[in-house]
Amino acid sequence: MDGKKTKEVAIFKDYSLGVNTNRDAWVYNSNRQTVINSTKRSVLAFNKALGELNSGLDTSSVRQKYIKDVAWSSSLVSRLERKIPSDFSERRIQKSLYRPFFKQNLYFDPESGFTHRPGRWKYIFPDSKAKNLAICSSGVGSKEYSCLMVDHIPCLDFLEKTQCFPRWLPGEQAKGAEDTLDFGESSEMPSGFSPEALPHFQAAYPGKPITEDDLFYYIYGILHSEDYRTRYANNLMKELPRIPRVATYEQFMAFVEAGQELARLHVHFEDVAPYAGVTIEYTKTGLPSYRVKQMKWGKIKGKTGNAAKDKTTLIYNDWITVKDIPLEAQEYVVNKKSALDWVVERACVSIDKASGIVNDFNDYATEMGNDRYPLDLFLKIITVSLETMKIVKALPKLA
C-alpha cells in the first residue's frame, strides 16, 4: 500500500498520517461554537504576540506572556519568528473522527500554523463539503494491528500512528472561483489508486470484471481477515500493509462483499439500528434525563481492576442503567480497546486542565438534534460490533 518509501509498485499514489494538531483541546470539541471561540481567541492572541515581538520583546518572553492563550508548537513558533500573522475562518471547521466511533468538530487549518502537522488532508478532505472515503491503518511499529474506514479527517491517534489511504483525491482538482473546489461526481475526481494497482489485480483473474471500487473494498475486507493478520503479524509491525491476490476470483469477490458490508457499518455507524436486545432500566420516576457525564460499566463484587467491570451492564447516568449487553460485542477490538469501550471512555464531559476548555459531548447531541444521542450511539455500536464480528468470522481463509 505504501507508495512513498518503497521503490516497489504501490497500490495508492498518496496517503497521509492522521492530523496532528498539537493543540487538541483548542481545535477539537463537541460544541462547534466552542471551537470557534477557543480558536479565534488563540489566533487573536498569536497576532498580539507577533505585535509585541515587533516592538522589541524576544520570542521566549512573548511565548511565556501568551502561554494561557496559545498552545505553542514548533510550527507556530517558527511562524512567530518569521513574523507571519495568522487569520481565522469558520469555513475551516469540519467533522473529524477523533477516536473510533467518536466524532468531533475540528478546526483544520493547514496554512496558518494552527494545525501543527496537517498531513495530506487538504488533498483528501479539502473542506467540509468534500465526499470521500479513506482506509485508516495502524502505522509502523504499532503494538496491535487495526484498521477502520472513515469519511472525515481522523486524528493521528484515531488508531495507533494512524496512516490513511484515500479512495479519491478531490483536492488535486483545479481550483475555481473564490478558491472553492467543484467536486462533481466521484467518478470525475482524481483516483487515489496508482495507475498500476488495478491492472495488477485484474491480471490475477483474466476476463473477470474488477473495478477500482471493488479493489478498495477488497483491501478493506482482507485487512479484517484474522488469517491475514495472524499470517503477516510480523510484517504489519515493521511496514505498512501489503495486499496479496487471493487464489480465485470467487474469493476475491467474497472479500469485496465483506469489505462493502464492513464499510457500511463503520462509516455509517450513526445510521445503524440500535441493538434492541438490552434491558433499559430507569432508576427514577418522571421524564428521564439523557445527559451523560461519564458512562461506567457495572461492578462485579469481590473483584478489582478490569476484572471487576461487568460489561453486561452500563451505568449510563443516575437515571438510566442498561443491562443484558451481550459480551460478544467486546470481541470487536479496534486500537487495543473494544469499540464499546471507546464510547464509554469518550462520550463524557471533560475539562482540559491547561486551558480550562470544557468538552461536553451532550453539546454534540444537541447539534445532532437528539438529546439521547450518547445512549443511541452506545446501542448502535453494540450492533456494529456484533455484525462486524459475524462478517469477520465468515471471511474465507487465505489460500
Q: Does pTM surpass 0.85?
A: yes
Q: Is residue 284 part of a domain?
A: yes
Comparing 35-44, 46-55, 141-150, which segment has the lowest mean pLDDT?
A: 46-55
**What is the per-residue pLDDT across 298-336, written as a single tens digit (0 to 9) for each?**
999 999 998 999 999 999 999 999 999 999 999 999 999
**What is the per-residue pLDDT across 5-19, written as a single tens digit (0 to 9) for each?**
667 789 999 999 999
Q: Mean pLDDT over residues 267-290, rounded?
A: 96
Q: Are 135 and 147 in contact (CB under 8 A)?
A: yes
pLDDT at 266 over 90: yes
Domain that includes residue 296, residue range: 279-393
Q: Is residue 295 part of a domain?
A: yes
pLDDT at 390 over 90: yes
Q: Is residue 388 part of a domain?
A: yes
Q: What is the pLDDT of residue 5?
A: 63
Q: Is residue 80 part of a domain?
A: no
Q: What is the pLDDT of residue 3?
A: 63
Q: Is residue 314 part of a domain?
A: yes
Q: Is residue 214 part of a domain?
A: no
Q: Mean pLDDT over residues 136-164, rounded?
A: 96
Structural domain count, the chain = 1
Q: What is the pLDDT of residue 175?
A: 46
Compute the mean pLDDT over every residue in the chain, rounded to the nearest whole number. Answer: 93
With bands split at pLDDT 50, 70 and 90, how would you rate the model's confidence at 182?
Answer: very low
Burial (CB count <10 Å: 0-12, 13-18, 19+), residue 241: buried
pLDDT at 145 over 50: yes
pLDDT at 399 over 90: no
Percent of the chain with pLDDT over 90: 85
CA 267 to each of CA 83, 177, 366: distance values in angstroms, whole numbers, following the listed order: 41, 31, 21
Q: Is residue 73 part of a domain?
A: no
323 against 52, higher pLDDT: 323
pLDDT at 345 over 90: yes
- Residues in CB range of 293: below 8 A, 6 or more apart: 317, 348, 349
Q: Is residue 317 part of a domain?
A: yes
